[in-house]
Each structure stands twice: as structure tokens, then as C-alpha cells.
Amino acid sequence: MDFSSLIGCVSSASCMVTQSLSGLTIGMLLFLVASGLSLIFGVLKITNFAHGSFYMLGAYFALTVYQVTNNYFLAVCGAALGVGLFGVLFERFLIRRIYGSNVLMQLLLSYAVILILDDIVMLVWGSEFQSMGMPDLFRVPPIRFAGAYIPVFYLFLIVAAFAIAGGLWFLIEKTRFGKVVRAAAHNGEMAAALGINTSLLYSFTLGLGGVLAGLAGGLAAPVRSLVPGMGMSILIESFIVTVIGGMGSIVGAFVSAIVIGLTRSFGGIVMPEFTDGLMFLVMVIVLIVKPTGLFSKGRD
């Protein structure tokens, strides 16, 4: 453990800026995936273990749109729409059949989808890893601030993710649709009895979860290698975020994603070989203190 490096970093403006920015970048991408996961669980009471594959599909959709249009913003939009549509189909044809089933059935179905999607990606895009490359707009030297290097693309990622988080908060908390979602999350049967078309709502929720995962995949595509199976690592981290924040809580996912991002960033200075362990350690501490997660409304 290298605490002297951490103290050195905390007392250095450049290191603080660099590490905080890194933490935010990691955290914001995690939030986009985890928020969809949390939303789906909150409304459908389904744990979508295939959510990491949604992120993978988003990255590949973005790659294809970018190759065709050479426009990164269209690529991100294409990824969001494509995975959103896939989410709707996923709900209509697969998830719908296991509502009320135990978690093992959810796991079985999701794992089958993970394997099938990995193979489909391999068939369509090939087994070789692929790279989108940095769009020309962001191919500029990093900004120097307080002695730190700040990549322009990472600034864009953070701003975009904050904007998406704000939009999602507004949608859930301030619109009629949000009220319906919250009602269905609280008691789906009662919401249906009151005339809410829960069937449509469930499809839309999985679609929205897909849009968020697609956005994350599309936004990350320029700096991450695209390879079949790439969704697995982000899925595990997203579960940690969701569990810490509280299953079903978007605000919880936001806060815990930032906590995990900063844990990775600053924890990497103290224990570079134990950063994954640190994430789990944070999760264990939270679960001991508040077993249902930091922002869960359920009883502990």
C-alpha cells in the first residue's frame, strides 16, 4: 500500500485534477449502464444479466454507423436507437415469458442471450477486436489546467453523461410518464388495475434501459477496443454500482457510480493491484451499514 503517493497526490493540484477527472469519466460511463439496469429492476423486478451485452451492441452499432456516415454524433444516436429497439424486442419476445419466475430462470435466459449475442457479434463484425478511432473533432491536444492534462474527449464524455443523467431525472421525477413508471415500480398490479397499460410500459422501460446502455457503448467506442464479450466487465461493475446505490434507484446509481469511479481512480494510487477489490470492499461496507443500498426505499 502506497499511502505516501496518495498524500502526495492529494497535495498536488495537477494530480487531484487528473485523478478526479479520471474518476468522473469512469463513473459517468458506469452510471449510464447501471441506471438502465436499475430502472429495469425497479419497474420489471427483473435482473437483466444481459445488460452488459446491450452495452456491447451499442458500441458495435456506433462503429457501423460511424463507418457509414463518419459522423460521431449520428453514431451515438444510432447506437441508442438500435439498442433501445433491441430492448423492446427483448422484452416482447423473451423477458415477458418469465415474469414472476425465480431468479435462476432470469439468469438462464439472460446468459443464453449473452452467448447468442456474443456469437452474433462475432458472425457480423468478426472475432478480431475493432477500434472506432477518435473522431476528428476531438483529435486535439489535451488542455493543460493546474499542471494536469485534460483530454477534450473526456470532458465531452462527462458533460454528455451529466446531461443524460439530468434528462433521465427530469423524465422520472417531473413528467406524467415518470409518475406512471414510479407507480408501476411501486405496485405493478395496482397500476394495471387503475388502467395503466403496464404491458406497453414494460416494453418501453426495457427500451429506455437499452437506450442508456447503447449511449454508454456509443460514447465509449472511440477509446475502447470492441470485441465480442466486452460487456462482461462493465456488467460486473454496473452491478456493484446498482447494489451500492440501491436496486431500482436512479439517484443511487448516479451517486454510487461517482463513488466507484473515484474509488478506482484514487484507489489505484494506493493499491494499484487491488482496485477491483476496493470496489467490492466499498460494496461490502455499504451492505453491512445499509443492506438494501444507499438510496433504496426498501426496509433494511
- Tell me which residues touch other proteins (CB under 8 A): 9, 15, 18-19, 22, 25-26, 118-119, 122, 126-134, 138-139, 141-142, 149, 151-154, 220, 222-230, 233-234, 264-265, 268-269, 272-273, 275-276
Say which amino acid occupies 136. Answer: D
What is the smallest separation between the CB atom of 277 and other proteins, expressed in angstroms?
11
| 84 and 207 Cβ atoms separated by less than 8 Å | yes
Of 17 and 171, the one with the shorter C-beta distance to other proteins is 17
What is the smallest separation between the CB atom of 150 and other proteins, expressed in angstroms?
9
Of 266 and 295, the one with the shorter C-beta distance to other proteins is 266
Of 101 and 225, the one with the shorter C-beta distance to other proteins is 225
Sign of CA dihedral 238, 244, 249, 254: negative
Q: Which cell numbers hold the place of 60?
A: 458495435
| 245 and 297 Cβ atoms separated by less than 8 Å | no
What is the smallest separation between the CB atom of 288 and other proteins, expressed in angstroms?
26
Q: Reduced to 3 states, what is the DSSP secondary structure of residue 25?
A: helix
What is the smallest separation between the CB atom of 218 and other proteins, expressed in angstroms?
15
CA-nearest of 203, 201, 204, 226 to 79 is 226
Of 133 and 178, the one with the shorter C-beta distance to other proteins is 133
Of 175 and 233, the one with the shorter C-beta distance to other proteins is 233
What is the smallest separation between the CB atom of 226 and other proteins, expressed in angstroms?
8
| 24 and 291 Cβ atoms separated by less than 8 Å | no
* Type and span of the H or E element at 46: none
